[in-house]
């Protein structure tokens, strides 16, 4: 067994962890920039000519692999420590994009490299800043998880704009090894992503055992009945609360992931139908606003949850997302075209970002700080389910309407996603944290076994 990396002394400035976390997450947010590539990949006259469903599958494969590998990442984190896991994630993420650029002319190669290899890199690195941040900031779990993952949302803005418009747009002017635009950007991005994650990993280390911030005493958590009991994975998976959280996470993530995949395709259809001449440019800007508010939402919802409680914050976020998803189709586009579309994209991004501050924080609230890396990895499998369901839902209805660009074809997937969010809000509102007695300690289990053995002897 390889020894874990040495813990930092208690005098270490814990805010360096936040800086490293944001740097890592800026690179990992690349997956949310996928919409900037979908138009070029699905152009029938272009070099790729993928179907809408195929472009959705590359994105879905990345999301699903990201979620599944997080389960493994939690185990590796406990064994090797955070820094080696972050480094491995950065190397895999960079390699996936570079290989996708060099050899990804066809669908299956892009699915394997950008989708699966790149997604695995994100899954390994993503859990590290969350786990390390919660341990260094037990006094500000909601805020710090929001800050730790805010870069994920903000990063998408950078990668969207760099590819699409900044400096002429790398998709238009970038030429690496004579490759077409999309593959050229993949190579550039892969090298940059790897460098950023490796730099951020230098401060990814756990605090000393028993660390508490100066002057802070753990208060009784108003949103948790677990006391200070730390659930391991087996205990958590035996609790009904885990499955309620898992279901709600699917509901709330499905809407945001569907919009990330389809915002450019839907926006061009809807805005063009309403007479907007520069629909493509408008959707590119809307994608950037979505990503910006995705990052803002992570910080804002995390901070709000520290004040009103995690359960209430998740229920409110899900309710808001459901209403906005309904309004996006039925109201904003027709009430204000460009401005309405920008507003809707921003609000959906804001609410979607809240998932990634609230669910790791409520995992720590319900099941303890000690095993949050491995426990949240299991909860995050919900994101993988949503990552397949959301984009595929949109891709299916888009492909089914061959030659029809009317926005009405998008009504069904938006209503389905909105309904899922509203159901999730209801489930979260009636959910309650597990009681201490629902998860007996290891010592209690051992005593019960001794008693049983005594009775049978």
pLDDT at 415: 84
What pLDDT digit, counting tens, does each position of 59-85 carry? Answer: 888 888 988 888 888 788 878 888 999
Whole-number pLDDT of residue 199 = 93
Per-residue pLDDT band for 89 (boundaries 50, 70, 90) equals very high
pTM of the model: 0.68
State the pLDDT at residue 95. 94
What is the mean predicted confidence (pLDDT) over 292-305?
83
For 406, the token pair is 């009317």
**pLDDT mean over 297-325:** 87
At residue 401, does pLDDT exceed 90?
Answer: no
> Among 345-359, 418-432, 439-453, which stretch is predicted with the lowest mean pLDDT?
439-453
Query: Which domains are delineated in the chain?
Result: 18-207+224-456 (1.20.1250.20)
pLDDT band at 41; cut points 50, 70, 90: confident
pLDDT of residue 5: 43
Quote the tokens at residue 339: 């401005």
| pLDDT value of residue 331 | 55
pLDDT for 452: 46
Check pLDDT > 60 for residue 181.
yes
Q: Which residue has the higher pLDDT, 151 or 190?
A: 190
Say what the pLDDT of residue 222 is.
45
């Amino acid at each position: 067994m390889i020894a874990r990396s040495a813990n930092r002394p208690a005098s270490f400035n814990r805010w360096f962890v936040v800086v490293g976390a944001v740097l890592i997450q800026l690179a990992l947010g690349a997956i949310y920039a996928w919409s900037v590539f979908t138009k070029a990949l699905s152009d029938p006259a272009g070099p790729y000519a993928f179907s809408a469903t195929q472009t959705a599958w590359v994105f879905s494969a990345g999301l699903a692999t990201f979620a599944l590998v997080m389960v493994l990442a939690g185990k590796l984190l406990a064994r090797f420590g955070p820094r080696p896991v972050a480094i491995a994630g950065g190397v895999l993420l960079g390699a996936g994009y570079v290989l996708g650029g060099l050899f990804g002319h066809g669908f299956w190669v892009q699915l394997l490299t950008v989708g699966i290899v790149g997604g695995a890199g994100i899954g390994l690195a993503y859990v590290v800043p969350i786990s390390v941040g919660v341990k260094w900031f037990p006094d500000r779990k909601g805020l710090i998880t929001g800050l730790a993952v805010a870069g994920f949302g903000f990063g998408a803005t950078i990668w969207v704009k760099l590819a699409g418009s900044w400096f002429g747009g790398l998709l238009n002017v970038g030429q690496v090894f004579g490759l077409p635009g999309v593959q050229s950007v993949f190579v550039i991005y892969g090298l940059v992503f790897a460098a950023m994650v490796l730099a951020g990993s230098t401060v990814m280390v756990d605090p000393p055992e028993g660390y508490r911030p100066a002057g802070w005493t753990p208060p009784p958590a108003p949103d948790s009945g677990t006391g200070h009991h730390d659930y391991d994975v087996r205990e958590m998976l035996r609790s009904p609360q885990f499955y309620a959280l898992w279901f709600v996470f699917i509901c709330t993530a499905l809407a945001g992931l569907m919009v990330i995949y389809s915002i450019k395709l839907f926006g061009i259809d809807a805005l063009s139908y309403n007479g907007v001449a520069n629909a493509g440019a408008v959707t590119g800007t809307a994608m950037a606003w979505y990503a910006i508010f995705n990052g803002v939402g992570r910080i804002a919802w995390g901070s709000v949850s520290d004040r009103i409680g995690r359960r209430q914050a998740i229920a409110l976020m899900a309710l808001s997302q459901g209403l906005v998803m309904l309004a996006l189709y039925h109201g904003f586009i027709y009430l204000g075209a460009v401005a309405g579309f920008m507003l809707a994209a921003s609000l959906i991004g804001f609410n979607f970002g809240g998932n990634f501050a609230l669910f790791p924080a409520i995992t720590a609230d319900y099941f303890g700080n000690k095993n949050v890396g491995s426990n949240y990895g299991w909860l995050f499998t919900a994101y993988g389910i949503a990552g397949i369901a959301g984009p595929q839902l949109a891709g299916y209805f888009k492909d089914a309407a061959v030659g029809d660009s009317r926005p009405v074809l998008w009504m069904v997937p938006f209503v389905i996603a909105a309904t899922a969010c509203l159901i999730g809000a209801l489930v979260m509102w009636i959910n309650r944290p597990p009681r201490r007695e629902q998860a007996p300690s290891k010592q209690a289990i051992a005593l019960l076994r001794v008693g049983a053995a005594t009775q049978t002897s």
